[in-house]
């Protein structure tokens, strides 16, 4: 594939500039059917054994693109052609904002990690929905919603309601992001006294919007830095309010001792391989707290099919990829699916969703 040849040149550039170049290419490809067909011929692979049903939605495979990669919904057709089962765009806020000061994105090459302190830089919800309405899509589309940096937490509900209302007719599900470490105070919304009224208000908004567009799933994305006690309380509340899924996890503020890259001291959220163990730990805990009563989405450190299998055996119904795409390139999704199909055959399964928590292979 061409990515191994391009990667050294991309990695010589500033990480954010390199990402902008990738997205610029993605925008161009997404507008040309012939280019999309060429991408599809190289990378697209589907098999009914990989299909999963989650919360009333049918996913052709369990591998989704995590929020943050395509913040402004600019290249959805390309990610569909690459074979993702879903794409989650955003995080989007009511008003467009520039985000934090640059530099704000850092590669930890030896560790296969990324640190970001982007700060919800995006064009705003109206620009996003206008862009989505102009494309033809055949993929499960999630929209990740947040609040503007200047909005105090006591007024956060209004920001989330604006995003949900404006985006509701354009997405298939919506993820409530209260767990990014890069907007000051945002993680305070994970505390029950703030979280409960926030979720109740958003569920009321969904009920109103459902009269026009039907009921669409609401997911909640959590931080890996929650204590077990905090996570249990959120799981109990989420089940009580009947949210549709929990996403585990966002980036971490922790820094594992084994990190070697000098950028490890940068402020921001750490993702990639270094967060995999912590994310899996929280996924396993959430699976215990929810006991199969709520779908879980595993995020963090997905680079190979075995990483997907591990998250599925720990209780996830779906997984999402971000850093793996940066380090492994566009062929990653096809490689993972080939690995999953091999796993299915080796274990004499008929479908991938037969994997249970007792079948973790290590």
Positions marked catalytic: 180
Tokens of 111: 């560790």
Contact 168, 114 (CB under 8 A): no
Q: What is the largest CA-CA distance in the chain?
A: 54
Residue labelled with tokens 């298939």: 172
CA 226 to chain centroid: 18
Alpha carbon of 57 to those of 18, 141, 244: distances in Å? 34, 10, 11
- Determine the angle formed by the axes of helices 33-43 and 15-30, rounding to 10 degrees: 110
Contact 92, 98 (CB under 8 A): no
Residue labelled with tokens 């309601």: 161
In DSSP notation, 71-97 reads TTS--HHHHHHTT-SEEEEEEE-SS-B
- How many residues belong to the chain? 362
User: Prior bond to 249 cis, omega within 30?
Assistant: yes
Cα separation, 206 vs 339, whole angstroms: 38
Torsion of CA 314, 315, 318, 324, to 10 degrees: -20
Residue labelled with tokens 């109740």: 200
Alpha carbon of 71 to those of 43, 191, 210: distances in Å? 23, 26, 25
Cα separation, 220 vs 240, whole angstroms: 14
CA 147 to chain centroid: 17
- Determine the angle formed by the axes of helices 15-30 and 3-12, rounding to 10 degrees: 140
């Amino acid at each position: 594939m061409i990515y191994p040849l391009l990667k050294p040149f991309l990695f010589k550039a500033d990480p954010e500039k390199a990402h902008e170049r990738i997205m610029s290419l993605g925008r161009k490809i997404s507008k040309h059917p012939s280019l999309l067909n060429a991408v599809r011929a190289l990378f697209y692979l589907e098999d009914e054994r990989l299909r999963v049903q989650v919360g009333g939605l049918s996913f052709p495979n369990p591998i989704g693109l995590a929020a943050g990669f395509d913040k402004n919904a600019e290249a959805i057709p390309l990610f569909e052609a690459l074979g993702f089962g879903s794409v989650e765009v955003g995080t989007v806020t009511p008003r467009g904002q520039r985000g934090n000061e640059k530099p704000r994105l850092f590669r930890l090459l030896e560790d296969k990690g990324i640190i970001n302190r982007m700060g919800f830089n995006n064009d705003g919800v109206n620009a996003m929905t206008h862009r989505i309405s102009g494309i033809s899509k055949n993929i499960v589309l999630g929209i990740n919603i947040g609040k503007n940096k200047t909005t105090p937490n006591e007024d956060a509900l209004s920001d989330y309601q604006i995003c949900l209302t404006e985006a509701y007719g354009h997405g298939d599900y919506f993820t409530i992001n209260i767990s990014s470490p890069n907007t000051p105070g945002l993680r305070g919304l994970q505390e029950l006294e703030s979280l409960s009224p926030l979720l109740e208000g958003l569920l009321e908004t969904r009920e109103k919007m459902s009269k026009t567009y039907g009921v669409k799933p609401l997911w909640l994305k959590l931080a890996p830095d929650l204590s077990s006690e905090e996570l249990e309380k959120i799981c109990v509340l989420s089940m009580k309010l009947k949210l549709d899924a929990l996403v585990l996890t966002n980036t971490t503020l922790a820094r594992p001792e084994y990190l070697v890259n000098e950028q490890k001291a940068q402020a921001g959220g750490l993702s990639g391989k270094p967060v995999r163990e912590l994310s899996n730990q929280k996924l396993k805990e959430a699976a215990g707290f929810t006991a199969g009563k709520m779908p879980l989405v595993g995020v963090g450190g997905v680079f190979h099919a075995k990483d997907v299998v591990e998250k599925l055996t720990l209780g996830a119904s779906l997984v999402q990829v971000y850093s793996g795409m940066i380090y492994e390139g566009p062929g990653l999704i096809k490689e993972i699916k080939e690995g999953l199909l091999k796993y299915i055959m080796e274990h004499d399964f008929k479908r991938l969703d037969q994997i249970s928590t007792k079948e973790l292979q290590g």
